[in-house]
Chain A
Amino acid sequence: SYMLTQPLSVSVAPGNTARITCDGNNIGMKSVHWYQQKPGQAPVLVVYDDSDRPSGIPERFSGSNSGNTATLTISRVEAGDEADYYCHVWDSSSDHRLVFGGGTKVIVL
């Protein structure tokens, strides 16, 4: 079955750039979506279709996808960006499964 691998955590100082990777076999051929989840809250969509942003999401959040790695980039990191981030794809190759990465904790130093 298709798997997505994310680093457990990423640490970043305020004002710097955080990059969260999501590795999967030929993930560049799929549409990748990214969610932010803060403690006790439901996930919030921050990037969809690799690099598009929903309305209301700051331009500091951007995405890219190529080869075997998709990346969520958070520029000019703020304390409020500390959260768990999950990538998500639809795997059409086996039973039309929705697959999530294991999640990455972004720690703002």
Chain B
Amino acid sequence: QLQVQESGPGLVKPPETLSLTCTVSGVSITSRGHFWGWFRQPPGRGLEWIGSIYYGETSYYNPPLKSRVTISVDTSKNEFSLQLRSVTAADTAVYYCARQGGGSGWYLSHPIASWGQGILVTVSS
């Protein structure tokens, strides 16, 4: 049974770097056919895609965040990570890691079938 779990600091000072890790259990992160992604939701607002990575190689980022974001994979630990640089209060949100899968067509078009529980990250000095 696939499980994904976010971890990291709940408070980050501006303009530091927000760093989160997603631990994957129940399946290898190198299994083909799935994108692994990061999403966020500011308090009281909707969902936003941050970026996704495939097989530890190809990555895609949301253009408004692209200059500040890096997503990487550590296959030895079966986990993937998010780094968001130069944060401001506007980056305060619940951050989710997730796996896409189970749809038809290209993998990035697949639904987000497995979500972590989310982690609240507050950006404040």
Residues of A within 8 A of B (CB): 1, 30-31, 33, 35, 37, 42-45, 48-49, 54, 86, 88-90, 92, 94-103
B110: which A residues are within 8 A, CB to CB? 48
Q: A42-B118, A97-B49, A100-B47 are in contact. Are A33 and B112 (CB under 8 A)?
A: yes
A36 to B30, CA, bound (A): 28
- The B interface, classified by DSSP as helix, strand, loop or mixed, is loop
Say yes or no: is B55 at the interface (Cβ < 8 Å to chain A): no
Report the contact-size class of chain B (Cβ under 8 Å from the partner).
20 to 34
| Top 3 A-B pairs, shortest CB-CB distance | A48-B111, A98-B49, A90-B109
* Contacts between the two chains (Cβ within 8 Å), count: 69
Residues of B within 8 A of A (CB): 37, 46-49, 52, 60, 62-63, 96, 102-106, 108-113, 115-118
A31 to B103, CA, bound (A): 9
